[in-house]
């Protein structure tokens, strides 16, 4: 069993005197910086001068400075930048100001595990990875609860890396829900696999294939949209709240029998074998090399051609109309 912690297991005292520089103020940076500040920690925010987030961070009550200056002042440098720019920002601004005994902290392990960042041996390297988007991290904190996190120490130079890791996790509210120990390798490999095989890639591909099957059989696209996409959230919510068997107990008997007997006809051993191929390509570095090469050549255009294909798909055209009907004030 993995080691776990709850809120009462952790004290903020070991890190209360330390300055934490949150580098980046996107959805995670915003949420984590504000939660740590509200928990009484000394937080500063490091941003690109003149960037869009500078005024927002200041309006939220933070001391804001350049990334270089923030890293000079900080004891803990908490990097919450997009994956693909971390390496360059580290090289230009973080690394030159990473002196002995400081901590380099992340919410995703890719930059360290794949050596996009080659950190020195005389610092702590730690991770606090909330299992939810930044909006949820902030929302649950304000509701006096939290979003669970997985936590890891990759390098403990000071002997106090776990105090720093658990302190950050408590301060952002995650320990209220629960913390689970992991490793940098396990976090990045399982995170990428989940995104590719199940959460994003697998689910989107399954929904499109189910939609196409119904429409090609002559059913109305609007009805197909409801049955294979719209109602999926209801099922996922039940699985998340009650587990898979708990979901089966809460659907109709017909859905229960049909799903239990026909689901394995759709997700076959071949599908599982393909999932293993996806996992192997993550584990052996194939995907990492492909992604880095593609991004270096094309930047954010790397995925545009795939997104344009989806945008042109009938399910998206129908979906826009259906969502306007259900949420008339929403914008996409």
pLDDT level of residue 262 (50, 70, 90 thresholds): very high
Sign of the CA dihedral with 93 first, then 95, 96, and 101 last: positive
Tokens standing for residue 247? 């979901």
Q: Can you tell me whether residue 103 is helix, strand or coil?
A: strand
Neighbour order of strands in the sheet with 42-47: 4-5, 179-181, 149-155, 124-130, 103-106, 76-79, 19-23, 42-47, 63-66
Write phi, then psi, for 64 (nearest 5 degrees): -120, 135
Give CA–CA dist 303/19, Å, rounded. 38
Q: Which residues are annotated as a binding site?
A: 25-28, 48, 53, 134, 191, 195, 227, 231, 252
Question: pLDDT tens digits, residue range 77-101?
Answer: 999 999 999 999 999 999 999 999 9
Domain boundaries, the chain: 4-182, 194-326
Render the burial of 83-120: b for 16+ CB within 10 Å, e for the rest: ebebbebbeebbbebbeeebbbbbbbbbbbbbebbebe
CB under 8 Å to 70, separation ≥6 — which residues?
Answer: 21, 23, 44, 45, 46, 77
| Known active-site residue 108 | yes
- pLDDT, residue 1, reads 83
Question: pLDDT tens digits, residue range 137-183?
Answer: 999 999 999 999 999 999 999 999 999 999 999 999 999 999 999 99
Q: Which residues are annotated as a binding site for NADP(+)?
A: 25-28, 48, 53, 134
| Given 108, 154, 230, 313, the catalytic residue | 108
Fold of 4-182: Rossmann fold (3.40.50)
Q: Is the pLDDT of residue 331 over 90?
A: no
pTM, two decimal places: 0.92
């Amino acid at each position: 069993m993995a080691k776990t912690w709850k809120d009462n297991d952790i004290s903020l005292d070991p890190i209360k005197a330390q300055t934490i520089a949150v580098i980046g103020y996107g959805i995670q940076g915003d949420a984590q910086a504000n939660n740590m500040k509200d928990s009484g920690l000394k937080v500063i925010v490091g941003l690109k001068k003149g960037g869009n987030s500078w005024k927002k961070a200041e309006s939220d009550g933070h001391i804001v400075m350049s990334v270089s200056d923030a890293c000079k002042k900080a004891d803990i440098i908490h990097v919450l930048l997009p994956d693909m720019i971390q390496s360059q920002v580290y090289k230009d601004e973080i690394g030159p100001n990473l002196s002995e005994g400081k901590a380099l902290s992340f919410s995703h392990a890719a930059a360290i595990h794949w050596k996009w960042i080659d950190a020195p041996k005389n610092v702590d390297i730690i991770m606090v990875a909330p299992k939810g988007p930044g909006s949820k991290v902030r929302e649950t904190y304000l509701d006096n609860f939290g979003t669970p996190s997985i936590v890891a120490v990759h390098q403990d130079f000071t002997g106090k890396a776990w105090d720093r890791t658990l302190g950050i996790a408590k301060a952002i509210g995650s320990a209220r829900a629960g913390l689970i120990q992991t490793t940098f390798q396990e976090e990045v490999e399982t995170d990428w696999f989940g995104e590719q095989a199940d959460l994003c890639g697998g689910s989107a591909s399954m929904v499109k294939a189910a939609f196409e099957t119904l429409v090609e059989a002559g059913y109305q696209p609007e009805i197909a949209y409801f049955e294979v996409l719209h109602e999926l959230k209801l099922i996922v919510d039940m699985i998340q709240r009650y587990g898979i068997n708990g979901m089966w107990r809460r659907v109709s008997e017909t859905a229960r029998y049909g799903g239990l007997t026909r689901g394995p006809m759709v997700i076959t051993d071949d599908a599982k074998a393909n999932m293993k191929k996806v996992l192997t390509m993550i584990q052996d570095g194939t995907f990492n090399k492909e992604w880095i090469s593609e991004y270096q050549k094309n930047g954010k255009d790397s995925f545009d051609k795939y997104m344009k294909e989806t945008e042109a798909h009938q399910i998206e055209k129908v979906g826009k109309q259906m969502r306007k009907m259900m949420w008339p004030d929403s914008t996409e």
